[in-house]
Structure 1
Amino acid sequence: MLSTAHRVRTATDFSHTVRSGARSGCRNLVLYAVGTGTGTPSRFGFIVSKSVGNAVTRNLVKRRLREAAASALAQRPVGLDVVVRALPPAASASWFDLSSDFERCLASSVKRFSKSGGRKEDGK
């Protein structure tokens, strides 16, 4: 479980991350990452719409993504805001597929963000 300090909670934070973050997509999800500075803890947010499935399926996907985020938090504890949007194929994906897509997309987004020299944070 992610603590409150490690969750993206407000609509403003979600929209800022999605609009100005480095985007990376895989078969099961789309991930947006933006740098927040060195002193702030990394935070994760999840978007799982009804197109993914019924409430039971959506909650299963969210629990799996939260667990993947918790393991990624150990590697990158500070400086990132990440929003993960689950796509409909995530409903039938195995835990292994979902977690490997998450890790691959996170690494790709961080790499893209790093290449831009951190300018994505300011929306420039």
Structure 2
Amino acid sequence: MKKGYRIKKNVEFQAAFKRGYSVANRQFVIYILKKEQQGNFRIGLSVSKKIGNAVTRNQIKRYIRQVFHELHDEIKCGKDYVIIARKPVAEMDFHQVKKSLQHVLRLGKILK
């Protein structure tokens, strides 16, 4: 993902947690913060050490980034999304991750 599409700073994560709202399913929690002045959407990823070792965590993050890359045109702009992966994601392959993320994105009315 390009730099303009990423959330990296702790202050930005905390703003999403405090001022945003969340939607969740068993595998993911997504915090959504509206930012009208922003031309595109941004995503921040949080994958805890509880989920697995570094290889597993990085693979999950790659899967999530790829899903957002594939759904880029369908995702509403002008918002920040913080995605938190839960424990069951560790045993999922890419297609299962994509299906689960699409489900939670529909719950949050994020897809156009």
CA distance in 2 between counterparts of 1:19 and 1:109 reads 17
SS at match of 1:83: strand
- Distance apart, 1:10 and its partner CA: 0.9
8 Å CA contact 1:42–1:73 kept in 2: the answer is no
CA distance in 1 between counterparts of 2:105 and 2:49 reads 24
Describe the superposition over 1:35-90 as per-residue Cα deviations: whole angstroms up to 9, x where unpaired: 11154310001000101100110011000011112223222362110000011111
8 Å CA contact 2:38–2:79 kept in 1: the answer is no
8 Å CA contact 2:46–2:83 kept in 1: the answer is yes
Q: Which residue of 1 aligns with 2:43?
A: 44
Describe the superposition over 1:85-106 as per-residue Cα deviations: whole angstroms up to 9, x where unpaired: 0111110012122111112212
Q: Which residue of 2 aligns with 1:83?
A: 82
Q: Considering fraction of residues, name the structure with more helix.
A: 1
Q: Are the structure 2 counterparts of residues 38 and 75 from structure 1 closer, same or farther at C-alpha, using a change threshold of 3 Å?
A: farther
- Distance apart, 1:22 and its partner CA: 2.1
Mapping of 1:32-111 within 5 angstroms? 32-37=31-36, 39-76=38-75, 78-110=77-109
Which runs of 5 or more structure 2 residues have no equivalent in the other structure? none
Q: Which residue of 1 aligns with 2:23?
A: 24
CA distance in 1 between counterparts of 2:103 and 2:19 reads 20
Matched positions, count = 110
TM value normalised by structure 1: 0.80
8 Å CA contact 2:30–2:82 kept in 1: the answer is yes
8 Å CA contact 1:33–1:106 kept in 2: the answer is no
Residues 1:3 and 2:6 aligned together = no
The percent of aligned pairs where both chains have the same amino acid is 25
Structure 1, 16-25 or 55-64: larger mean CA deviation: 16-25
